[in-house]
Structure 1
Amino acid sequence: MLYFGQYREKVGLRMNHLQLDELLRGLDAVERIQLRTRENVNDFDGGELADEPDGIPRMQGKYFFGSDSVSLRKHHRFAAMPVHKHDFIELNYMYSGSCEQRIDGRQVTLRQGDACLMDRNVPHGIAPLGENDILVNLLLRKETLASAFPDRAPEGGAVASFIAHALSERQRHGRYIVFRPGERVKLHGLMCDMMCEFFDPDGHSADLLRHYVPILLIELMRIYDLDLNYEPEPPLPQGVIRDVLLYMEENPGSCTLTELAERFHFSPKYLGSLLKSRTGLTYTEWVQRQRLNRAARLLMETDASVDEVARQCGYESLGFFYRKFKARFGRTPHDFRSAPRTLPYNP
């Protein structure tokens, strides 16, 4: 564990950001071993890892928190961290350099200033970090999120949705969000202030850390709302786009662009641009086309009335459905149904 007590005892001052930087870049005991062996060393001789039926070990929070609900730890450099998951919530913050992670089967690169918020049970592994690669892990008990917003839960957006899922015992856990603040420096300042409190604590530090949590989460909401949170590099594999399009085909119009982006861990702005570049259509245009294609199939393959077809395809206004259908296929729904089956049909 990093500590700073000797400095404070000597000069009577609290840690500042320059001293924090010196502390983070220094070698801890585990890093000295990993630098020599290039093999991962567990903090608690592996006792913190519980066996799971899926074969992915689960880190237990009781080893990291003690009586507190917030913990900060520097990720040990020079050796790969095998795939694992947690029974607590974690924010990875890239203080310096960069790192490669495999999160829930996807390759994710964090660069200086980036962060990744992970719910419980997200499988992830981390490639070896170099000397300048400083990754800091902020660990949170579920109860910390609940107490962060005691009067009302935050509304709207992926971060608010993440919090709601993380607090629920009914939902399947395993979500994560990547944040890329760009030129915004407030997140860095907040993380540094929290680290100074944790690594150089006094009698008020535990309370201060708990109060920092809602401020930190609100700053993450701001970053996400500015659509700066996800710019994947290198370009995404074709399979990821195929998964998105397949989900959209199987669930036409069942979710908004924001909900779709959240499901596949993108920002709405980036996903909208990605869909436009790959399909030539905006998200709304694509959904509209899928609804109309389904309506055309129902008209050709079933005896359902035009009114029923419109309702099944999500159109509450019959007049609106008629206008959109004719614009798409050049015929009204009645004319389309009565036309010969040899009529060209290009979805």
Structure 2
Amino acid sequence: MKLSELCRQITTDNSLLLPPGHKLGARLVCPEYSKSTQEVKTYPLPPSDRIFALCWNIDRSGILHSTMCPAPRNFCFRLPFDDGEKTQLHTHDYMELTYVVEGEFRQRILGRDITFARGDLCLIDKNCLHQDYLFSEPAVILFLGIANDMFTEIMDENITTQKIIAFLQSALLKQKDLQQYLHFRPGSDAASELEECLFLLIKELYGGDTGTSYIRKGLLLRIFRILSTKYEFSLSKEQRITMNWIVFEEISEYIQNHYKNVTIQELVDVFHFQEDYFNRLIKSKTGLTYSAYLQQIRLEHAANLLAASRKGIDEIAETVGYHNKGYFYKIFQEKYGMTPSKYRKSKR
């Protein structure tokens, strides 16, 4: 069974239907009733249940089938809606991770309309003002509500790369007054791996047995691991510049520490960005390509060694990563306007 099939199954069991107007229905989907009111959705479960899921299954006839799990008893809720209708403007006091299982999904986040395609995810911080669009095109949307202490534990497990830890911990955890979201897009084959974890998580949330709390946390750890290594993410406009500097500083520090043998492929493996991203980022911050930036760092280290050590020039060339001595002499003279030996004499 696929994730989409599981979501349809748990949202369309007519034997479990809630009656129209049931108060729990408003928890699942609340159509817009005021353009000025802002709802605050509180975490709906006891502290022992630190993850929950809402599932929407939208059909062509303009009916939204939905459910929430875990719940005291399994149920389904059915809501007819008008095409293009929105939910009430709202925030959460917890983290929400949205996954588009099928179709498209549009949200208005911080006053901006964003369309998410199949396989996309959106992580919305608490206090981030948003609302959801309802269209009568088939779609299956999965919302994971994550209690704040659980999210903190996930971050503390250090299962993400430093770029995500740096951003999430500073922007989402420490600066709680900032309204933030992250839009994740899958790399090749990433969606199938993520859906396998989501499928198992929904099964545990819908009817978990002994030890289910540990299994749920483990699956959520895997989900964030996949997000950190196989998904690209974009930032809200307010944090893009800050985030670029965070990533640049990490990349620059890594190159400074490994300048002798570092390669562009090594950066791809460590930071999980595509190769051309490094050139674009370094160019925007330094005006240099990756190769020119690395060469500049190597030559600066060579100059420092010439001035402060007694190592031979050939040994220094090897130390900073140049095995072709003639090439080293050539680029050093181009940068400093003199040979390495003259540079050493000038500094003494």
TM-score range, shorter chain: 0.5 to 0.7
Pairing partner for 2:118 from 112, 117, 125: 112
- CA offset digits 1:152-197 (Å, max 9, x no partner): 57441235521454333x5434221111115421111111110111
Q: Give the SS at the match of 1:92.
A: strand
For residues 92-171 of structure 1, the aligned pairs below 5 Å read 92-130=98-136, 132-148=138-154, 150=156, 152=158, 154-158=160-164, 161-168=167-174, 170-171=175-176
AA of the residue aligned to 1:94: V
CA contact (8 A) 2:119 2:186 kept: yes
- CA-CA distance at 1:204 after TM superposition: 2.5
CA contact (8 A) 2:104 2:115 kept: yes
Pairing partner for 1:214 from 221, 225, 246: 221
- Provide the rounded CA distance (Å) in 1 between the counterparts of 2:28 and 2:197: 29
- 1:68 aligns with 49
Pairing partner for 2:9 from 20, 23, 34: 23
Pairing partner for 1:174 from 176, 179, 198: 179
- CA-CA distance at 1:22 after TM superposition: 3.9
- Provide the rounded CA distance (Å) in 2 between the counterparts of 1:33 and 1:83: 22
Question: After alignment, is 19-28 or 83-92 more displaced?
Answer: 19-28
- Provide the rounded CA distance (Å) in 2 between the counterparts of 1:270 and 1:89: 31
CA contact (8 A) 1:74 1:135 kept: yes
- CA-CA distance at 1:254 after TM superposition: 9.2
Pairing partner for 1:199 from 199, 206, 223: 206
AA of the residue aligned to 2:9: L
AA of the residue aligned to 1:110: F
CA contact (8 A) 2:106 2:115 kept: yes
- CA-CA distance at 1:82 after TM superposition: 2.0
- 1:255 aligns with 245
AA of the residue aligned to 2:142: V
- CA-CA distance at 1:30 after TM superposition: 8.1
AA of the residue aligned to 2:38: I
1:88 aligns with 2:89: no
Where does structure 2 lack aligned partners over 5 or more consecutive residues? 31-35, 58-63, 65-79, 250-271, 288-333, 336-348
- CA-CA distance at 1:217 after TM superposition: 0.8
Would the alpha carbon gap of residues 257 and 55 (structure 1) be closer, same or farther in structure 2, given more than 3 Å must change?
farther
Would the alpha carbon gap of residues 216 and 257 (structure 1) be closer, same or farther in structure 2, given more than 3 Å must change?
closer
Q: Give the SS at the match of 2:26.
A: coil
AA of the residue aligned to 1:223: K
- Provide the rounded CA distance (Å) in 2 between the counterparts of 1:88 and 1:191: 19
Query: What count of residue pairs does the alignment treat as equivalent?
Result: 232
CA contact (8 A) 2:7 2:140 kept: no
AA of the residue aligned to 1:67: S
Larger strand proportion, structure 1 or 2? Answer: 2
Would the alpha carbon gap of residues 209 and 223 (structure 1) be closer, same or farther in structure 2, given more than 3 Å must change?
same
- Provide the rounded CA distance (Å) in 2 between the counterparts of 1:258 and 1:56: 37
Where does structure 1 lack aligned partners over 5 or more consecutive residues? 1-14, 35-39, 47-53, 233-239, 260-266, 277-281, 290-322, 325-347
AA of the residue aligned to 2:149: E
Would the alpha carbon gap of residues 254 and 205 (structure 1) be closer, same or farther in structure 2, given more than 3 Å must change?
closer
CA contact (8 A) 2:248 2:281 kept: no
Q: Give the SS at the match of 1:102.
A: strand
- CA-CA distance at 1:74 after TM superposition: 0.9
- CA offset digits 1:233-260 (Å, max 9, x no partner): xxxxxxx7xx89xx97xx9x9935669x
Q: For the aligned residues, what is the CA RMSD?
A: 4.4
CA contact (8 A) 1:187 1:216 kept: yes
TM-score in terms of structure 2 length = 0.53
Q: Give the SS at the match of 1:218.
A: helix
Would the alpha carbon gap of residues 284 and 181 (structure 1) be closer, same or farther in structure 2, given more than 3 Å must change?
closer
Q: Percent identity of the aligned residues?
A: 17
- Provide the rounded CA distance (Å) in 2 between the counterparts of 1:107 and 1:18: 25
AA of the residue aligned to 1:20: L
AA of the residue aligned to 1:192: F
AA of the residue aligned to 2:41: M
- CA offset digits 1:88-145 (Å, max 9, x no partner): 0010011111111111222211122111111111111110043621111111011102
